[in-house]
A and B are shown apart, each in its own frame.
Chain A
Amino acid sequence: MEEYCIHLAILCCIYLILAHSFNISFGLAGLLNLAHIATYAIGAYTYSILTIDYGYHFVAAFLLSGVGAALFSVFVGAIAARLRGDYFALGSLGFYFVVSALLINWREVTRGVLGIAGVPRPELLEIDFYENRNFLVLAVILCLGCLACMYLLQVSPFGRLLRAQSENEFAAMSLGRDVARARNLSFLISSAFAGFSGAIFASYLNYVDPSSFSLTEMILVLSMVVVGRPGSFWGVTLSTIFLVLLPEPLRFLDFPPSAIGPLRQIVYSAILVGVVYWRKEALFPRRRVV
């Protein structure tokens, strides 16, 4: 039982970083980047490849996962520059599919659907991080660190600028601010943190494969921000923990193991649909009536 709680706590740490990272580009800047889960994947794969194939140390690999994910976001920024508003979401979705296809097919690098196994736990200060309790401490420290950074960002002038350009891009531009640069920067930061959470994820599970980065995961992350109210730091925190813990009771009911996956998928998808349904005024602007 205690092991199980530790497991859940570690998952919470990972998803808290991930959800808040999405909150920066969606909640603050108002950009629905459906490729966000791809940056998470990049972080996870970068960490895995660096530690296994090149023997990088944890700290270096961790930081480089963030860097790798952030570099990747440059593409997303390019898409955002070319496609305005709602069409950006479409473009980012297309981009996600391309990355997903690469993860599955570029076997030389990613090992395809088999995934990369044997990703090591961190080696720091002679502590055995294969002991989950110790890993949890590390995860919590990293999580608090990342969340603190993101919180500071939210309340900073930069955060205010992001909010302003999301409400009225032209008004923000007229104030003399470089909105495009702010937007790209928000993608960079958002992706970096997604990369960090990916690294922790890879390190914890000791394994990455494309199925962990499916669109259903994106739906989950989207739900975490939408349910908690986009832009709200504490809202997103609470809703993330809630959504991570929500399907767990399913384990204790008598379902066959093959049903857990689909049931989880139903729960998360249904929640997203429900919340979007009830919050549609706040999330999606009305179309212009003639």
Chain B
Amino acid sequence: MLDFFAQLTVNALIAGSVYALAACGMTLSYGLLKILNFAHGHLLMIGAYAFFFAFAELGLGFLASSIWTLGFSLLVTVVLFRIFIQPFLRYSFLLVLVTTLGLGYVFEAVVQLLFGAEVHAYPITRLSTSLQLGPVYFTTVQLIIVCASLLVLPLLAFILHGTRVGRRVRAFSEHSEAAQSLGLSFVRYQYGVLIVSAFLATGAGVLVAFDTNMYPTMGTTYTIKAFASMIVGGMGNLWGTIFGAYFLGFLETFGIGLEIGGVGLPASYKDAFAYVVVLLILLLRPEGVFSPGRRRV
């Protein structure tokens, strides 16, 4: 029984790590720009497919594929930002939401045209080897996911709270005009956060594809997971979002895995958790668990 519990915990950690990597980019861009980028999950998807194209279809090596993937994702992100987000920062965040919602579906359809709607998987590599730690099983790539998350995310938080650059990003998040009046260039920091955000999403996408598989509609799925994490922990709040991601991972894994009194939820309800969480939090505490109270007009 304890073994089962331990395995569930590890699975939850893995799921939470993926969601955290996916969500942090979204929360950083929300914090700075006050926009909800519904195409963020699609960046994950584009990353996964771009890597697949280089690695599986062209047969390029790991390094070359990574460079290509990062470069391509960066290009897509910058173009997306420059044309569809930056000019809209003056307007209600709904404009960016609806625009990125539409664009996300364009990306999805394009990928479907190019690669087909069915599920794809990366060729089997060393990353799929099974490992065992006591009673718990996991794969190499899953280990990498958790390690990446546990290393990168606290690093991000440190940068945000302990360095001059991070201080400036936080200043922009709170009152961008006042920060600009201190002589700081908003545009420069926009691009900085954007690039970090894109790298996180792309990396997450490739790791997920190695771990399980990829399909064109995964973009929407991960956008919702990222969004749910953000909603729970507080939009724009980095530690809160990380917490929200792991919370979601645990909720999903244990909700499916456990049976209370012989009644368990079928596995297909896993994704529904994220949706229900989003709704509940929006209704009960829209500012998120960790954010300072927001004045609701």
Interface positions of A (Cβ within 8 A of B): 32, 79, 82-87, 89-91, 94-95, 97-98, 100-102, 104-105, 112, 215-216, 219, 222, 258-259, 261-263, 265-266, 269-270, 272-273, 276-277, 280, 283-287, 289-290
Q: In the complex where A102-B272, A273-B99, A284-B91 touch, is A265 in contact with B109 (Cβ < 8 A)?
A: yes
Question: Could you write out 30 A-B pairs with CB less than 8 Å apart?
Answer: A79-B283, A83-B283, A83-B296, A86-B92, A87-B282, A94-B275, A94-B279, A95-B279, A97-B274, A97-B279, A100-B275, A101-B275, A105-B268, A215-B105, A216-B105, A219-B101, A258-B117, A261-B109, A261-B112, A263-B109, A265-B109, A266-B110, A269-B106, A269-B109, A276-B95, A276-B102, A280-B88, A286-B90, A286-B91, A289-B177
B255-283 to A contact mask, C-beta < 8 Å, 1/0: 00000000000101101101110110011
Is B59 in contact with chain A by the CB < 8 A criterion? Answer: no
Whether A276 and B282, one on each chain, are in contact in the complex, defined by CB atoms closer than 8 angstroms, is: no
Kindly provide the distance from the CB of A134 to the nearest chain B CB, expressed in whole angstroms: 36
The yes or no answer to B220 lying at the interface (CB within 8 A) is: yes
Q: Determine if B297 and A85 form an interchain contact, defined as CB atoms under 8 angstroms apart.
A: yes
| Complex Cα–Cα for A84 and B297 (A) | 7
Residues of A within 8 A of B95 (CB): 276, 280, 283-284
CB neighbours (8 Å) of B297 from chain A are: 84-85
If over half of B's interface residues share one DSSP class (helix, strand or loop), that class is named, otherwise mixed; here it is: helix
Interface status of B224 (Cβ within 8 A of chain A)? yes
Task: Verify A98–B91 contact, CB threshold 8 A.
Answer: no
Q: Quick one: closest A residue to B177, CB to CB?
A: A290
B181 to chain A minimum Cβ distance, whole angstroms, is 10
B88 to A, closest residue via Cβ: A280
| Secondary structure call for the A interface | helix
Residues of B within 8 A of A (CB): 36, 84, 88, 90-95, 97-99, 101-103, 105-106, 108-110, 112-113, 116-117, 175, 177, 220, 224, 266, 268-269, 271-272, 274-276, 278-279, 282-283, 286, 296-297
Counted as pairs of residues, one from A and one from B, with CB atoms less than 8 Å apart, the total is 121
Q: Contact between A285 and B282 (Cβ–Cβ < 8 Å)?
A: no
Tell me, in angstroms, the Cα distance from A266 to B109 when the chains sit together: 6
Known: A79-B282, A284-B92, A287-B92. 5 other contacts (CB 8 A): A83-B282, A87-B282, A262-B108, A289-B90, A289-B177
Among B94, B113, B116, B278, the residue within 8 A (CB) of A284 is: B94
- B283, A91: Cβ atoms closer than 8 Å: yes
B101 touches A104 (CB 8 A): no
Contact assessment for B105 and A98 in the assembled complex, using a CB-CB cutoff below 8 Å? no
CB of B272 within 8 A of CB of A262, answer no
Instruction: With A101-B271, A286-B90, A286-B91 as known contacts, state yes or no: A222 contacts B98, CB within 8 Å.
Output: yes
Partner of B84, one of A86, A272, A273: A273
Chain B: minimal CB distance from A121 (Å): 31
B89 to chain A, nearest CB (A): 8
Q: Measured between alpha carbons, how far is A280 from B99 in the docked complex, in Å?
A: 10
**Contact (A276, B269) CB under 8 Å given A94-B275, A219-B105, A265-B108:** no
B92: A residues at CB distance < 8 A: 86, 284-287
Taking CB atoms, residues of chain B closer than 8 Å to A222 are: 98
Q: B124 to nearest A CB, angstroms?
A: 27
Tell me if B98 and A276 are in contact (CB < 8 A).
Answer: yes
Cβ-defined contact, B279 with A98, below 8 A:
yes
User: How distant is B201 from chain A, measured CB to nearest CB, in Å?
Assistant: 20
* Most-contacted residue by chain A among B36, B84, B91, B224 (CB, 10 A): B91
| Nearest chain B residue, comparing its CB with the CB of A255 | B113
Report whether A97 and B278 are in contact in the complex, using a CB–CB cutoff of 8 Å. yes
Given contacts A82-B283, A280-B88, A280-B95, contact A272 B268 (CB under 8 A): no
A222 to B272: give the CA distance in the assembly, Å.
24
Contact call A94/B113, Cβ cutoff below 8 A: no
Q: How far is the CA of A277 from the CA of B80 in the complex (A)?
A: 13
